[in-house]
Structure 1
Amino acid sequence: MPVQYLQWLLYLQLLLYCAVLKAGKVPSIIVFGDSTVDAGNNDYILTLAKSNFKPYGRDLDGGKPTGRFCNGRLATDFISEAFGLPPLVPAYLDPAYNIQQFASGVCFASAATGYDNATANVLSVIPLWKQLEYFKEYVGKLKSFQGEAKAQETLINALYVMSLGTNDFIENYFTLPDGRSSQFTVPEYEDFLLALSEGFVRDIYQLGARKLDLTGLPPMGCLPLERVTNRAAPGDCNKEYNKVAREFDMKLLGLVHKLNAELDGMEIVYGNVYDLLDDVVRNPASYGFENAVTGCCGTGLFEVSYICNKKTPITCDDANRYVFWDALHPTERMNHLISNYLMNTTLYVFL
């Protein structure tokens, strides 16, 4: 047998061994959050916050829209694959999947939601408390499917991801004059959201969670929609929004330290997406992008959800050249960069 063939065979065996180790150490990925990680749950509720139509999903296999607010896969899909799990994390409300598929990954996220119930009410989406109820239902199904002991092992070793908070500010606080902004100052609202985040983490801890990525806010003032609605400097990043995101992220990091100290056996990492996205927006060419100001869909300034549709004119040919797919959400390529960044900076501790 040729030496090169033996070397190739050993290499394949090593890859298989590594995949088995990854799958064994993190047997499942469980996702909570908003449109940054919603795999299609909003397809099955009555809301305007949907993306189950073209051109969404055009770069997925077969070009079929799945309800992901992207031209392709989400960061959580890439993270799942990095841990040796399936390349797409299925939406819990999707009837095409059952507990057999959900055992290795499940998404409870809902586009347009936030930590605050009032945020979910704006577009009638799934609030965080309801995502928790779905998770409890899932735990019962998992125990019936795997047995009590095996299910508990899965829940303890699974990677949990929480990605939300942006909508609380740009959809709720800064948009609704008679809402939270009339009740809280910005620092008070940040603390209000952090208390909700802490309560949720403690709830899933009681249900078995031990490995958690708590993702921070991006530079939300640099989202295309926020640039175009920036009255102080139209077309530029909204510095006030970015300042709030930074402040909130620093408080979230403090919460991570607090919960790690107080919850026995819990390991929480802070997903710092702000620094990566901030650098990409400032230096897009360094990352191979040509456009970090507008989205690929239509003019890229305000098109999102139903406004980004197959009849939208001049949608770009190559989304890989764009940081943003629509006016709010990253392209698949940007999501892949986010996944790689998180794997290399924080999530590697769970490998």
Structure 2
Amino acid sequence: MDSSLIPSSLLLRRMLLLLMTVFCKTKGALQLPPNLKVPAVLVFGDSIMDTGNNNNNTHTLAKCNFPPYGRDFQGAIPTGRFGNGKVPSDLIAEELGIKDLLPAYFDPNLQPNDLLTGVCFASGGSGYDPLTSKMATAISLSGQIDMFKDYIRKLEGLVGEDRTNFILANSIVLVVEGSNDISNTYFLSHAREVQYDIPTYTDLMVSSASSFLKEIYQLGARRIGVLSAPPIGCVPFQRTILGGLLRKCAEKYNEAAKLFNSKLAKELASLNQNLPNARVVYLDVYNPLLDIIVNYQNYGFKVGDRGCCGTGKIETAVFCNSLDPTCQNAGDYVFWDGFHPSESVYRKLVPPILQKYMYQFI
């Protein structure tokens, strides 16, 4: 749009927003390639990335905006992050030098300037399979797409169409799903187990993931990182339910995750070839996280098979609450609750993963 057609007050507002974006960036620890400029981080996914989008959802149990969640967060505030402190969404934005926290898109205190540097659309309990989000009453991937479209409209109102297109094309867009599909929808609820075997169910997951990625590409995303499913069978909850007296990892969950990951990696490679100017990158978190879980003492942790909250064996979300005792130091634990790692683990995972894969976004 010709700037002469924009009212002077709106033009001034846009200039001020852009200046605020420049001067409010944090100093990231990650050394980016000189030709890689990242204006914002945009995140889709589940509870690993959710920074509070489920807080006002009265129909879901997948929320954690209450103590002891957020115990080690700034001001010990439970913000709806599924952990004791920051989650990967925040740490990625921090490492890239964009900002200290990645706000939830549904945060009632969201500021216009936040839109320029990125937001989080993730919802705890969601998955690639539409049934997964429905069962958890979470925001489905189609619902997160609707949030993304609304975000784009607001961004265009703030900085215009050209700058919006630049932000979308150059931002790092991350997608984290799959755990709830395998652990909750397939194995735990058996809702899909009667319809599919694992090979065909993982095909369904990959097909849904591919459709989602094509849609956000059509909306302007170009640098898209998709995280693998983690070693789901080694989270405390699954070890307690299926690991026997010794609480070993539930290998059938891990095998399903690995099968899904292998198919996902191939599909992303195909998308990368067929979507012009796209950089669709597969990010392996399965192996580095499994190494931390198995060799936890090598990473400075004292407990690898239980969470910090309550007994550490099953408590998650509403079942990890102020009535439960918590460990003295969450930094000693690989897991915060029955499903989610502690902030200390995320801080060991995020920097090397970014360092390993960032060059692929160029």
Classify the secondary structure of the residue corresponding to 2:44: strand
Residue identity over aligned pairs, in percent, reads 39
Letter in 1 for 2:337: D
Classify the secondary structure of the residue corresponding to 1:106: coil
* Residue matched to 1:262: 274
Task: Tell me if the contact between 1:58 and 1:64 (Cα under 8 Å) persists in the aligned partners.
Answer: yes
What is the TM-score when the length of structure 1 is the normalising length?
Answer: 0.91
Task: Tell me if the contact between 1:22 and 1:83 (Cα under 8 Å) persists in the aligned partners.
Answer: no
**Counterpart selection for 2:313 from 254, 277, 301:** 301
Please list, as runs of the form range in 1=range in 2, the aligned pairs for 1:210-221 lying within 5 A after superposition: 210-221=222-233
Structure 1 residues 279 and 63, CA gap change in structure 2 (3 angstroms): same
Instruction: Encode CA deviations 1:292-316: one digit per residue, 9 max, x unaligned.
Output: 1000111100111111112202x11
Q: How far is the alpha carbon of 1:98 from its aligned partner? A: 3.0
Q: Is 1:316 the equivalent of 2:313?
A: no
Please list, as runs of the form range in 1=range in 2, the aligned pairs for 1:1-351 lying within 5 A after superposition: 25-46=37-58, 47-177=60-190, 179-230=191-242, 235-313=247-325, 315-350=326-361
Classify the secondary structure of the residue corresponding to 1:323: strand
Cα separation, 1, equivalents of 2:339 and 2:40: 28
* Residue matched to 1:4: none
Instruction: Encode CA deviations 1:198-222: one digit per residue, 9 max, x unaligned.
Output: 0011001111111011000111000
Task: Tell me if the contact between 1:221 and 1:240 (Cα under 8 Å) persists in the aligned partners.
Answer: yes
Aligned residue pairs, count: 334
What is the TM-score when the length of structure 2 is the normalising length?
Answer: 0.89
Structure 1 residues 232 and 301, CA gap change in structure 2 (3 angstroms): closer
Q: How far is the alpha carbon of 1:341 from its aligned partner? A: 2.4
Q: How far is the alpha carbon of 1:278 from its aligned partner? A: 1.0
Cα separation, 1, equivalents of 2:355 and 2:286: 15
* Residue matched to 1:12: none
**Which runs of no fewer than 5 residues in structure 2 stay unpaired?**
1-26
Instruction: Encode CA deviations 1:59-110: one digit per residue, 9 max, x unaligned.
Output: 1110001100010001121111111111110000111003321220110100
Cα RMSD over matched residues? Answer: 1.9
**Runs of 4+ residues deviating >6 angstroms:** 18-24
Task: Tell me if the contact between 2:281 and 2:361 (Cα under 8 Å) persists in the aligned partners.
Answer: no
Structure 1 stretch displaced more, 225-234 or 128-137: 225-234
Instruction: Encode CA deviations 1:163-220: one digit per residue, 9 max, x unaligned.
Output: 011000111111223x211111111010011011000110011111110110001110
Cα separation, 1, equivalents of 2:257 and 2:123: 21
**Which runs of no fewer than 5 residues in structure 1 stay unpaired?**
1-14
Task: Tell me if the contact between 1:19 and 1:84 (Cα under 8 Å) persists in the aligned partners.
Answer: no
Task: Tell me if the contact between 2:279 and 2:360 (Cα under 8 Å) persists in the aligned partners.
Answer: no
